[in-house]
Amino acid sequence: MAVQVYTEEELFNSALGYFRLTFQGLDLSDNGFLGLLARDFARFFVLAQQEILQVGNDSVPAYQQDADGQIRSKCSSEALDAWAFVFGLPSGTPGVYGRRGPTISTGGIGVPGTTLAPIVIPAGSQANDSTGQVVVQTTATLTTNGPPNNLPIQFVSVSTGTAANLPAGSVLTWTSPPVGLLPSVTLTSGLAGAKDRESDSDLVARLLRRIQQPPRGGTAADYRTWGEEATDSNGAPLGLTRCYGFPLRSGLGSFDLVCTYAGSGLGRRPPAGEIAKAQTYLNRVRPVTATVNCMAPGMPTGLRIRVRVKPSTAKTGAYLYDWDDGSAFTFITAATANTVTCAVVPATLGAALVAGQKPRIQILISGAGAGPIPFIARVLTVGGTTLTLDRSFTVLPVAGFDYFYAGSSVVVPIAERIRDYVDSLGPSRISSYADPNDVWEDRALLERIENIVLETRDSDGTRMVTELPGHLINSTQIAVGLGAFAPGSYRPNDLLATPPELTYLRDGGIEVVS
């Protein structure tokens, strides 16, 4: 329903015009009774019109572009909830239709330290993160073999929402540790997979897909829906956030479904056990004549992306690099929790330190669990060729392999945007079997990365980068695995015999250099 909306001024003039015609000669200023009454009517109709407009907006699930240029749901949250119920969208809670609620994180592993002989840590033992806001618990009973204990214990979160996605290196403090158990344990494998309450934008997208591609008993859209709504034998959702359909990829009557988690990097690939559960679910709902193959994407080799930027000089140089590394990196020959050692300390870094700047460095850490975002730290002192940093590593740099560049406040924001872009890519479409009605990007495109870098803004809207030096030459480069950097986009492969490949970033895979 399209609703004609009048501006406040139009309504005000209409009300005054009506009173002027009806009560000719009377005082219609804001001193006169009828003038005030006319204004009251105008205000009343403005408010009533807003209600009518909201009814119109709620009458169908749709998007709209707001004044700030953002695409948002046209419906109110309450109306979206009602629509989700009407169209029977699963909420993730068995038997309940509606918006998806926040979920827990899983996959956390830590090795508890002990001071006594075997200690039994019961299943359900709870611990808090350093903020005290996130509560996790053990999934099974563990009898330690220490001291020193070297048996790992698994954690899932009790808290819900993305705050419960604790990275590797997070320190957990036991709520009620048994005697002989050290009070804290460090995660060697992070907790992942928790999601916040489904946003209005995500819910309206799910609704529109449900309405525009209603269940038909076996179309490509049906398989995607089935995959994303798949549950285990207990009815608990598998949390396969995005499934990608490849009709006929494995032959006549086949449908290959590549399942992924939300998240980042290798964390997007569901483990084999979860894929098996999805396969069981799909086998239950698929047409009897079809063969469905649930699979995790192939992720053989991660990418590294290097971008060269010229930071903005705005805000008295707040975005500039702290020292000039001459676009060259420095190898790390050794590292401890908060120091790195190199063969030769760059002279400009030393000069910046002497000038009292506490210059920043960005360290590309390739160790497992480090993630693709550079580790930024300030150099406090230099002793010989060892730099003492103002913060400790969660994953140590690999000596003789990892390296550092100059640091700046633009590095992390740019790197996070690049990471989010790569994490939004889907599996390879190169086979031509991908569902043509469900279009996703599969390639890491240089032009997209450059646009992302240039559009990086501070929280107040200030652009952080003014240009990309060496554009079309070496401003943006991609390396596959440990290969050399080259100024070309990357397209993942699909050999058909194995699952389609999914592009992802290696640990320490993003470099934002001057």
Partner 1 sequence: MALQFTGRDLALKRDPLTGKFDFVISSSGPNKGNPVLDDTRTHAVLTSLMSRKRGSRMGSAPQGGYYYDPTGSRGSLIWTIGQDKLSTPSQLKAYGEDVGARLVDAKQIRSYRVSAARIGSGKFRLDFAWTLLDGSSVNPVSVGA
Give the interface with partner 1 as residue ranges (CB under 8 A).
12, 23-27, 29-34, 36, 39, 42-43
Taking a C-beta distance cutoff of 8 angstroms, is the pair 211, 122 a contact? no
Q: How far is the CB of 6 from partner 1 (least distance, A)?
A: 16
Nearer to partner 1, 36 or 205 (CB): 36
Q: How far is the CB of 49 from partner 1 (least distance, A)?
A: 15
Q: How far is the CB of 32 from partner 1 (least distance, A)?
A: 5
Taking a C-beta distance cutoff of 8 angstroms, is the pair 408, 310 a contact? no
Q: How far is the CB of 54 from partner 1 (least distance, A)?
A: 21
Q: How far is the CB of 8 from partner 1 (least distance, A)?
A: 10
Dihedral sign computed on CA atoms, order 161, 165, 166, 172: positive
Q: How far is the CB of 57 from partner 1 (least distance, A)?
A: 24
Cα 106 to Cα 274: distance, rounded to the nearest angstrom? 13
* CA-closest candidate to residue 512, choices 444, 464, 472: 464
Q: How far is the CB of 24 from partner 1 (least distance, A)?
A: 7
Q: How far is the CB of 17 from partner 1 (least distance, A)?
A: 15
> Strands 291-295 and 254-260: what pairing?
parallel
Nearer to partner 1, 32 or 350 (CB): 32
Cα 113 to Cα 149: distance, rounded to the nearest angstrom? 6
147 preceded by a cis bond (ω within 30 of 0): yes
DSSP states along 313-356: -HHHHTTS-SS--TT--EE--EE-SSEEE-SS--HHHHHHHHTT
Contacts (Cβ under 8 Å, ≥6 apart) of 87:
97, 207, 210, 211
Q: Where are the beta strands (DSSP E) in 90-241?
A: 108-110, 120-121, 126-128, 135-138, 142-143, 153-157, 171-174, 184-189
Nearer to partner 1, 29 or 70 (CB): 29
Cα 213 to Cα 211: distance, rounded to the nearest angstrom? 6
Backbone φ and ψ of 488, nearest 5°: -140, 150
Cα 26 to Cα 354: distance, rounded to the nearest angstrom? 81
Taking the CB of residue 150, how many other CB atoms lie within 10 A of it?
Answer: 10
Nearer to partner 1, 15 or 230 (CB): 15
Three-class secondary structure of residue 193 per DSSP: coil
Nearer to partner 1, 39 or 417 (CB): 39
The pair of structure tokens assigned to 373 is 């975002």
Nearer to partner 1, 27 or 455 (CB): 27
Nearer to partner 1, 36 or 380 (CB): 36
Q: How far is the CB of 29 from partner 1 (least distance, A)?
A: 7
Nearer to partner 1, 34 or 60 (CB): 34
Cα 512 to Cα 514: distance, rounded to the nearest angstrom? 7
Alpha helices for 400-463 (secondary structure H): 411-423, 446-454
Nearer to partner 1, 39 or 491 (CB): 39
Taking a C-beta distance cutoff of 8 angstroms, is the pair 371, 333 a contact? no
Q: How far is the CB of 12 from partner 1 (least distance, A)?
A: 7
Q: How far is the CB of 80 from partner 1 (least distance, A)?
A: 32
Q: What element of type H or E holds 224?
A: helix 220-228
Backbone φ and ψ of 343, nearest 5°: -65, -45
Nearer to partner 1, 27 or 420 (CB): 27
Q: Facing residues of 174 across strands?
A: 127
Nearer to partner 1, 35 or 193 (CB): 35
